[in-house]
Structure 1
Amino acid sequence: MATLRQLEYLVAIVDEGSFTRAAERLDVTQPGLSHQFQALEREAGGPLLERLPRGVRLTPAGRSMLPHARAALAEAGRATASARRAAGVSTGELHLATLYSVSSGVLPAVLGRWRRQHPGVRIRLFEHRRGDEMARAMAAGQADVAVGPLPEGWEGTARHIGTEEFLVVTCADDPAAAAPGAPGVRLSDLAEREWVHFTPDSGLSDILEAACAAAGFRPRVAVRTEQASSAIGYAAAGLGPTLVPANTVPPYFGGVLLRPDPPLRRRLTGYTRTSPDPVTASFLDLLGDHAPLMPPHVGRRLRPAARTDRRPPRERR
């Protein structure tokens, strides 16, 4: 059976591109590394690497083994950290996977509070563009806990932490912000507009496309960006409306916020592959208690229809 040390050698050789540099990185002799790697290849039943004049190249067997080797090493590291935390050791790392939008909207306040409560436990953050990408990484053992929408059919531990709301962002003089009578804006009323959209590999792109499809149209694109924060800035500058999680909206910006009618919401969870250790469970508790899904400044900025009566307040009856 392959040992963790042999798997570490495989990963180091691939990452460094040569046996010599891998031996230097691991502080072992090159003959010793080569001997252990040959034992790994015998265990695997054939070559894992092709030696080239300038580097190495994975064989099909090597390409198949490499992601499992990385996952095994990551899992071993987390097993040690979990045992140390369970034994009361207050140092180490908590590995956290999340989406870009959740990272910028939900996590800063939570991680700030976590740092004050657990100053000796570092956070290693893995950010993903899409929920399905993050789920695959979690299944491969990337992190202790993931924060985002719960993958369909997930078999590990999951804890609901709340529901975030999506809002339409547009510029201050947008006619949609002055439409009388409505509590927000129907996306169908924006069907002829050009939108601040997201790059196709962003999960926010799927959400915008699905919301517009439900309203009966496909959004025309003024500009695409990968980040919600950039989309907010472009929409406030007048490039077109966009749709973002409420918690990604900064306290001060020059645009207008409108609630879609009907509302658009997304459930967020913290999920793990196995039962969480005490520190991971503590993080999930903190997340559930303090995740800013609708920050107060956003609620105050939400703008329903502007009044068509433009008389000064004293003249209104």
Structure 2
Amino acid sequence: MPTLRQLEYLATVVDTGSFTRAAEQLHVTQPALSHQIRALEVALGGPLLERLPRAVRLTPTGRAVLPHARAALAEAERLHAAARRTAGLEEGELEVAVVYSVSLGVLPPVLRDWRRLHPGVRIRLREYAHADRLREAMAEGRADLAIGPAPTGWEGPIRELGVEEFTVVLPAEDPLADRPAGTVGLAELADRDWVHYAPDNGLADLLDQVCARAGFHPRAAIRAEQTSAAPLLAAAGLGPALVPADIVPAHFEGALLRPDPPVLRTLTAYTRTRPDSLTVAFADLLARRVRIGPEVSRRPVPDASG
């Protein structure tokens, strides 16, 4: 199989009209150049060049091969240029996989800033309801970067981004809504029916775990498939909801209370292999945007939820 080097040598000999001048331009010895041309001729099954006393002339086979050689060299240069532009964050595409809560809360301002900073680099987003599905998708090669709770048993690079804080949502008219401290112990809500999550939504596991720490199992008034529906259902009076603080709209009509102790979850970015420059740049921007929780009573929940 011809190599790009051999094709380059052929095109240079033709362009300069001389093995001597071609060798000088390529910074190789003339014997090395001749050897590569002979190897190319062997690979293609016939002579490509006729060596005249003062010039070099293409054979019929050489005339047929040369356009393809030039096309291959041009394509290789385009490939190298694309790689350089990607390394320079000028253009390319990055496939990012996330759990739902990240795509609703943390990610939108990151994508806005990324678009402003790197308009030529497209983002393809894949969303998963549970961190286990996210991990499986990443292991199967469906994305370049995964963002979610730390994956159990992951052998590739993992970068801790920061802490995601959760809030309890209640109706604005709830008796607990006007607390001066703005906090609530989950045990105080043990006798309530909750806005829970569907079993395939990873936040269902999280809610069960933190309520178990508080000494009870949350009864479900309703189970939401979509994470974004939970705060709306809670504000409508169907029961308290535990949601990532970042997904709550700025002008939300419900009451937001901080659990005491806080409910926090460490977010990570992980890849299968050492990340390239695009992936690192995106993770850097993401890390600056992740909400950092309070320094006291920081007890992240188990990293198995979505």
Shorter-chain TM-score: which interval? Answer: 0.5 to 0.7
Change in CA separation of 1:80 and 1:200 when aligned onto 2, cut-off 3 Å: farther
CA distance in 2, matches of 1:198, 1:89: 39
Change in CA separation of 1:119 and 1:178 when aligned onto 2, cut-off 3 Å: closer
SS across alignment from 1:287: helix
Contact 2:86–2:92 under 8 Å retained in 1: no
Contact 1:169–1:257 under 8 Å retained in 2: yes
Residue equivalent to 1:266? 265
Change in CA separation of 1:152 and 1:280 when aligned onto 2, cut-off 3 Å: same
Contact 1:196–1:241 under 8 Å retained in 2: yes
Residue equivalent to 1:211? 210
Contact 2:164–2:265 under 8 Å retained in 1: yes
One-letter code aligned to 2:271: T
SS across alignment from 2:239: coil
CA distance in 2, matches of 1:187, 1:89: 46
Residue equivalent to 1:135? 135
Q: Give the total of aligned pairs.
A: 215
CA distance in 1, matches of 2:210, 2:156: 29
Cα distance, 1:293 vs structure 2: 5.5
Contact 1:131–1:151 under 8 Å retained in 2: yes
CA distance in 2, matches of 1:222, 1:80: 58
One-letter code aligned to 1:105: G
CA distance in 2, matches of 1:237, 1:89: 45
Structure 1's unaligned 5+ residue stretches are 1-78, 295-317
Structure 2's unaligned 5+ residue stretches are 1-78, 294-306
CA distance in 1, matches of 2:192, 2:81: 51
CA distance in 1, matches of 2:143, 2:127: 11
- Per mean C-alpha deviation after superposition, the further-off stretch among 194-203 and 82-91 is 82-91
Deviations 1:132-164 (A, max 9, x none): 110111111111101111102211112111101
Change in CA separation of 1:291 and 1:272 when aligned onto 2, cut-off 3 Å: same
One-letter code aligned to 2:226: Q
Rg: which structure is higher? 2
Contact 2:162–2:267 under 8 Å retained in 1: yes
CA distance in 1, matches of 2:165, 2:82: 34
CA distance in 2, matches of 1:80, 1:276: 19
One-letter code aligned to 1:216: G
Cα distance, 1:84 vs structure 2: 5.7
Residue equivalent to 2:254? 255
1:244 aligns with 2:238: no
CA distance in 1, matches of 2:81, 2:97: 17
CA distance in 1, matches of 2:129, 2:82: 27
CA distance in 1, matches of 2:292, 2:165: 7
TM-score with structure 2 setting the length: 0.66
1:173 aligns with 2:173: yes
CA distance in 1, matches of 2:147, 2:270: 7
Change in CA separation of 1:134 and 1:85 when aligned onto 2, cut-off 3 Å: farther
1:8-157 alignment runs, 5 A limit: 83=83, 85=85, 88=88, 90-157=90-157
Residue equivalent to 1:163? 163
Contact 1:183–1:261 under 8 Å retained in 2: no
Cα distance, 1:290 vs structure 2: 2.5
Cα distance, 1:183 vs structure 2: 5.8
Identity of aligned residues (%): 57
1:227-306 alignment runs, 5 A limit: 227-292=226-291
